[in-house]
Chain A
Amino acid sequence: MKVLNGVCMNLRKGQRIGIIGESGSGKTTLLKSILRILPPNGKIVSGKIVYDGKDITNFSEKELSRIRRREIGIIFQDPMAALNPVFKVRDQLYDILRYKLMEEGVKPTSQMLGEYSLELLSDVRLPDPERVLNSYPFQLSGGMRQRVMIAMALVSANKLLLADEPTTNLDVTIQDQILKLIHRLVVEKNLSTILVSHALGMVNRMTDEVYVLYAGDIAEHAPTSEIMKNPLHPYTQLLISSTPRLSSVGVGEGIRGKLPDYREPPQGCRFAPRCPYAMDKCFTVKPRVIRQNNDHHVACHLYE
């Protein structure tokens, strides 16, 4: 399966970008490629990933592991994938905190670890942090697990924070608090962030720039407020019009058809078979990226 199809992205220090698209559009694959944690059958066939001035595409597992632990925090969609089911939350938190303190040249005492982890858990608004520390992941609710994972990710995020649907299991009032917390830490630590989500409202709130991913292609990218007000690519337009609003009634028609089979993706524009404006050319020629006003980039033949 050829999932990602020549993706180019550029993330500056302190910049917050969002990647949006339907499930199956390659968002998570992109994130996993950056971290080099693709499943065994996944391979980066070409291209490179430059992180902090270094080409990490061919870094060894050991070098990568150091970066992941010390510099990059990751929040996954499914907390069970990130938490070890056979260790208590305490052990898992202590483990990363001990590592962090040692890196900082501090000899961790158990009192220090205890206080630090209680503070972390209250930061992510977990009620009864003592009980959470003494629990195994399966003893917590989905929302609680998600917050434990966010707490862990925020410990190791010193340069980059990657978040894949970070708040899907949370209630909206709790989500609001967590988004504020993430925002505060991102500003304090001047973190660069990549937020992957299909929740456009959250992306609108949390990012400066948006990339729209469709079937492994970047369809469009622009500053967040620009793209939300003035989407150019038909795919982005349909995504935005399908999102229910608070202020008015009327949802769009959705998007006809479904994502292509990645074993034989369409020639030309991968969105053409579902596009209401598709022309003959769209089925044969892959559109190049065209730069419009306001730093708006779109890959669509309509704008040539």
Chain B
Amino acid sequence: MFKAFIKKSRIKSPWLLHFDCGSCNGCDIEVLACLTPVYDVERFGIINVGNPMHADIMLVTGTVNHRNRKVLANLYEQMPSPKVVIAIGACGLSGGIFREAYNVVGGVDKVIPVDVYVPGCPAKPEAIIDGVVTALGRFQEKTQALRTGT
């Protein structure tokens, strides 16, 4: 019974870590817009924590470059399992218009495994919330994988 409650709670209480990997701030503003009274994601128990050690879901905006790829990988490693990663915006998905730049590595999935891709330039708050909801479905699979050790 307690296990069932924990499983339900995972879906009811996703805590986000928002990392700006080199975004123009367009997507960042949309992420923060989700917290305002208009969208109020705390209704779903979603909290934007600033701490990878408390987070369940990592939201990454912007391109990855050679300087911040280590920071991104470090933040990902600090998050306790189960965890999912959401890449937001054209830059987070592929590098966007900056993908050819000499200092850009590319999308977030070049460095850490990404579970959900939210496109847009910038991504709309509705799309970001939808991405988080999709990510919650991934929790289930991830916990199964943890248990079987795969």
Same complex: no
A residues neighboring B (CB under 8 Å): none
